[in-house]
Amino acid sequence: QVQMVDSGGGLVQAGDSLRLSCAASGFTFGRYAMGWFRQAPGKEREFVAGIHWSGTSTNYADSVKGRFTISRDNAKNTVYLLMNNLKPEDSAVYYCAADLMTLRPTIPTMRSSFASWGQGTQVTVSS
């Protein structure tokens, strides 16, 4: 069955960096776009970053553009999110997600476009 395991979260100070990982199994990873979402207490889950199934293009929320980098290693069935210059407002539970459509030509950004989710990893940024 499909399994996605998020890891790499933690408690850091403003300005620090973290790298999140999501190890996927149970499906043909290289045929699906992947995304990272986050959800802070009392807020909706929001799109953070996405990467094309080929790894050749990416998309970011305006709030993280220039600070976060999404990447993937299709040989390892893993997607990463490198987060630099973290801010307190980045504090949230971060979830990786797999597209519900194979070989989509674009990078989805809507929550409803993703079929499978990791369990989430907590990121807390202190000021």
Per-residue pLDDT, averaged over 46-59, amounts to 97
Residue 84 pLDDT? 98
Q: What angle do CA 62, 64, 68 make, to 5 degrees?
A: 135
Which pair of structure tokens corresponds to residue 76? 């390892």
Q: Taking all residues of the chain, what is their mean pLDDT, rounded to a whole number?
A: 97
- Which tens digit of pLDDT belongs to each residue from 16-51? 999 999 999 999 999 999 999 999 999 999 999 999
Query: What pLDDT was estimated at residue 90?
Result: 98
pLDDT of 103 reads 97
pLDDT at 52: 98
Does residue 51 contact residue 79 with C-beta atoms inside 8 Å? yes
pLDDT tens digits, one per residue of 80-105 = 999 999 999 999 999 999 999 999 99
55 secondary structure, DSSP code: S
